[in-house]
Amino acid sequence: MKRLILVPLMAALALPLSVVLTPDNAEAIPAFARQVKQKCTYCHVAFPKLNEFGITFKNNGYRLQGTKGTDVWEIPAWPVAALAEIELEWNDYDKDARGEDSLTIVQPEVEVFWGTTLGPHISTFGEIVVERGEGADLGPVFVQYNDLVGEAQLNLRAGAYDVDFQFLSAARSIIFSSYAAEELGFFGTAVGLEANGQILPEDEGLTVRYAAGYTVDNDAYNGSQSDLSDSVYGTVELTFMEQSIGAHYQHHAGDSADIDRWSIAAEFHALDAILTLAYFDVTMDGPSGGDDLDGDDILVELLYPVNDFVFGARWDKLGDDGFTGAGDFEQWTLHGSWYARPNLQLGAELRLQDFDESSSGANDDDEAVKGRLIARFGF
Amino acid sequence: MRAASALILAVMLVIACPTLSAAKRYDATPKLLKQGKKLYSQYCTECHGENGDGQGKSAKALGLVCRDFTAAVFEFRTTPSGYLPTDDDLYRTLTKGIRLSMEPAKNMRPFKDLSSKKRWALLHYIKTFSPRWDDPDEHAEPITIPEPPPATRDAIERGKELWQKVQCWHCHGPEGRGDGPSAPSLKDYDGHPIAPADLSNPELLQGGAQPTDIYRTFTTGLNGTPMPSYGDSLDDHQRWDLVYFVLTFGLGEEGVLDRYGQ
């Protein structure tokens, strides 16, 4: 009953608020921009993808450089923001001898999130996702103690958080479609403890970012991979004048099978475009001493922001040697977004999935086409 | 394996490309100016205003006096008093940012994260706001900053005498805290109240806190502010003596000798 009241109430609030708060000035844009009184493009390449300055701000515990952090009650703007998404989706699905066409309005979704310092050296981030018909879910929620060494050179984080690259993040992707590597368990939210930090150059030079942590088995966050065991992981990223490279390794030690994941990624900024390359690999011990189960994915993504538009294309090639059981597939995504306001993204997207060979031995030329029209706005 | 090789190649390119282009200077082509305009809109308008007049929304909201690019009066230069800064001066300010306040939202952020091409694009676009840049008489050769001599107790003592003689304390206060008797009445070229630098907090020395930065400020002065140039009235040795004395306000005498002594 609560849900029945809550969801329409939030939707009813969201629409007028978005109109009122759609920014015609710097103050009227989400949480962080309100705090620093700057446009959202100060921190974002295009919402929600962060630029280097935004990544530095985020890793600094949602603080501009050179401050220890303010008590939350002294922050001039409320450190809470929301993101709403409405989607019209068309599917033409033809796999495993099943043919399905559908045209749906996906249930509206509202994410309420906060990111702020709680006081000197302490920061927090959290997210609640409210979906019509699904109720409310907790997204990442964590507390971080900053500055154990230098300014954010060593921080300690506890809670639920995303394990991903700073420059290659599923949560901050401009393209709506999920990365194929998510099928292999990358980009997940984990519950655990993490030591992280960033070492920034005095002037020009190399920025080093790292994270190392321990995650625990947690069904609420592992979702479809609810049998995941505890893990240790480490990520290192190097950035020099907007060009970034990173490497990530994660080891799940299970009672019955160990899982090893590693990935390497790079992001180039050149000629006003952003090119992202990544390779993901996962190996799981085979059942009863049999062959290992493997999966890998190659990702190439090109984004081209021009004026109020962002055009993008992504190619994923997922190889599945028994890890997911879904078989190999190749995926093309074409994307176009118009930022009617800096915090209002109106996007169209077409995704083509071409399945090579499914585990059930279906036809070689199975494919799925998905078209989407999405409105996403933050306030 | 092929994918891994490609990525290793990509990694090498990521490292190599910016390294090779780091020292490159870019001329003001129409394409670069267009990019500069876009970057200016993205990063600068909230403070400096769409027209470069320093009247951005955030400037008003935060009560800041932001640089008016239409007047083209710049404080941080290597050129003699009254002249425009060099491109390298503007590039340095863009790269390092300006620390105006202990409140981070009131500072100009460093743009060291942007590629050098983008910083050159911004720099050239900023110069389009004033016709002064087109006048050859407004430009001058930069000064040469010599290698700093080592700090000594004698140099600090001589600097202290100069501090009294030149009456630096009149604006900066006896303890260098920016609270001298003239401080409340100081104004910039446009009539805005302006506070003298608090020399006891090296973090807030806007032109930089290294001996060469302070020497540069003494030599060129800060255009548009009451801080004059001592390039003619003090000789080279006297300016270094004064530099080391001024640094004692933030670091203490022993701190200066430890850091800059022989």
Instruction: Please give the Cα distance from A242 to A244 (Å, whole number).
Output: 6
Span B11-18, mean pLDDT?
A: 53
Using the predicted structure, report yes or no on whether residue B124 has a pLDDT greater than 90: yes
Q: Determine contact: A149 vs chain B, CB below 8 A.
A: no
Low-confidence winner among A131-140, A214-223, B7-16, B140-149 (lowest mean pLDDT): B7-16
Minimal Cα–Cα distance from B213 to chain A, Å? 15
Give A17 to chain B, closest Cα distance, Å. Answer: 22
What domains are there in chain B, each with its CATH number? 26-138 (1.10.760.10), 153-260 (1.10.760.10)
Q: What is the pLDDT of residue A35?
A: 72
Percentage of chain A lying above the pLDDT 70 cut: 84
Residue A228 has pLDDT above 70, yes or no: no
Query: For position A224, what pLDDT does the model report?
Result: 52
3-state secondary structure of B187: strand
Question: Which chain A residues have a beta carbon less than 8 Å from that of B112?
Answer: 201, 203-205
Rounded mean pLDDT of chain A? 82
B49 pLDDT above the threshold of 60: yes
CATH architecture of the domain A2-378 equals Beta Barrel (2.40)
What's the pLDDT score for residue A6? Answer: 42
Q: Is the confidence at residue B55, as pLDDT, over 70?
A: yes
pLDDT digits (tens, 9 = 90+) for B126-150: 999 999 999 999 999 999 999 999 9
Q: Which of A9-13, A206-210, A243-247, A259-263 has the lowest mean pLDDT?
A: A9-13
Residue A322 has pLDDT above 70, yes or no: yes
Average pLDDT on A222-238 reads: 77
Residue of A241, A274, A302 to mutate for B, most B C-beta atoms under 10 A: A241
* CA-only gyration radius of chain B, Å: 21
pLDDT at A152: 92
Rg (CA), chain A: 21
pLDDT digits (tens, 9 = 90+) for B228-241: 999 889 999 999 99
Check residue A275 and give its pLDDT: 95
Q: Of A3-7, A247-251, A305-309, where does the model show the most confidence?
A: A247-251
Q: What is the pLDDT of residue B88?
A: 93
Strand partners, A259: A252, A284
Looking at residues B104-132, what average pLDDT do you find? Answer: 89
Most confident listed range (A219-228, A353-362, B24-33):
B24-33
- Show residues of chain B in contact with A242, CB under 8 Å: 18, 113-115
pLDDT at B140: 93
Q: Which of B13, B45, B105 sits opposite A37 (nearest CB)?
A: B105
**Res. B5 pLDDT band, cuts 50 70 90:** low
For residue A83, CA distances in Å to A77, A109, A179, A375, B66 come to 17, 8, 20, 10, 33
Task: Summarize the confidence of residues B219-225 as an average pLDDT.
Answer: 92
Confidence of residue A363 (pLDDT cuts 50, 70, 90): low
List the single residue in A with minimal CA-CA distance to B61: A37
> Please, which residues have CB within 8 angstroms of residue B178's CB and are 6 or more apart in sequence?
B171, B172, B195, B196, B197, B198, B199
How distant is the Cα of A147 from the closest Cα of chain B, in angstroms? 17
Nearest CA in chain B to A267: B14
**Contact status of B23 with chain A (Cβ, < 8 Å):** no
Q: Which of A149-158, A287-296, B38-47 has the highest mean pLDDT?
A: A149-158
CB contact B57 to A (< 8 Å) = yes
Please provide the average confidence, as pLDDT, over all residues in chain B.
87
Mean pLDDT of A348-359: 80
pLDDT of residue A368: 87
Q: How confident is the model at residue A219, as a pLDDT?
A: 62
Find the mean pLDDT for residues B64-91.
Answer: 92
Nearest chain B residue to A264 by CA distance is: B7
**Between B12 and B105, residue with greater pLDDT:** B105
Least Cα separation, residue A290 to chain B (angstroms) = 23
In chain A, which among 224-253 make CB contacts under 8 A with chain B? Answer: 238-245
A309 interface with B at CB cutoff 8 Å: no
> Which residues on A lie below 8 Å from B13 (Cβ)?
268
pLDDT greater than 50 at residue A15: no
Whole-structure pTM over 0.90, yes or no?
Answer: no
